[in-house]
A = this chain, B = another copy of it.
Amino acid sequence: MNYATLSALISTRRSFLCVGLDTDVQKIPKGISPLAFNKAIIDATRDLCVAYKPNIAFYESMGVAGWQLLKETMDYIGHEHFTIADAKRGDIGNTSAQYATAFFDHYAFDAITVAPYMGHDSVAPFLAHPDKWTILLALTSNSGAEDFEQLPVVQRSGTTAPLWQEVIERSAGWGGPDNMMYVVGATRAEHLGHVRRLIPDHFLLVPGVGAQGGSLEEVARYGMNKDCGLLVNASRSILYASSGSDFAEAARAEARRMQASMAALL
Using a CB–CB cutoff of 8 Å, the interface residues on chain A facing chain B are 22, 24, 55, 57-58, 60-64, 67-68, 71, 86, 88-96, 98-99, 101-102, 106-107, 115-123, 137, 140-149, 151-154, 160, 163, 166-167, 170
Checking B61, B90, B98 against A61 with a beta-carbon cut-off of 8 angstroms, the contacting residue is: B98
Identify the 6 closest CB pairs spanning chains A and B, nearest first. A119-B144, A119-B147, A57-B98, A61-B98, A60-B102, A121-B144
A143 adjacent to B121 (CB under 8 Å): yes
A90 adjacent to B92 (CB under 8 Å): no
B61 adjacent to A92 (CB under 8 Å): no
Checking B58, B99, B116, B122 against A142 with a beta-carbon cut-off of 8 angstroms, the contacting residue is: B122
Question: Which residues of chain B are within 8 angstroms of A67 by Cβ–Cβ distance?
Answer: 63-64, 67
A57 adjacent to B119 (CB under 8 Å): no
Q: In this complex, which of A57, A71, A166 has the most chain B Cβ atoms within 10 angstroms of its Cβ?
A: A57
Closest B residue by C-beta to A155: B151
Nearest Cβ distance between residue A215 and chain B, in whole angstroms? 18
Nearest Cβ distance between residue A125 and chain B, in whole angstroms? 10
Closest B residue by C-beta to A92: B142
Question: Which residues of chain B are within 8 angstroms of A63 by Cβ–Cβ distance?
Answer: 67, 71, 102, 106-107
State the number of copies, please: 2
A141 adjacent to B106 (CB under 8 Å): no
Q: In this complex, which of A61, A160, A167 has the most chain B Cβ atoms within 10 angstroms of its Cβ?
A: A61
Closest B residue by C-beta to A140: B118
Checking B99, B102, B163 against A151 with a beta-carbon cut-off of 8 angstroms, the contacting residue is: B163
15 further A-B contacts with Cβ under 8 Å, apart from A57-B89, A118-B140, are: A55-B91, A55-B98, A57-B95, A57-B99, A63-B67, A63-B102, A64-B67, A93-B142, A118-B145, A118-B148, A119-B145, A121-B144, A151-B163, A153-B163, A154-B154
A120 adjacent to B144 (CB under 8 Å): yes
B58 adjacent to A98 (CB under 8 Å): yes
B99 adjacent to A61 (CB under 8 Å): yes
Q: Pick 16 A–B contacts, CB within 8 A, sort by A.
A: A55-B91, A57-B99, A58-B95, A60-B99, A60-B102, A63-B71, A64-B71, A93-B142, A118-B142, A118-B144, A119-B142, A119-B145, A119-B149, A122-B144, A148-B163, A151-B154
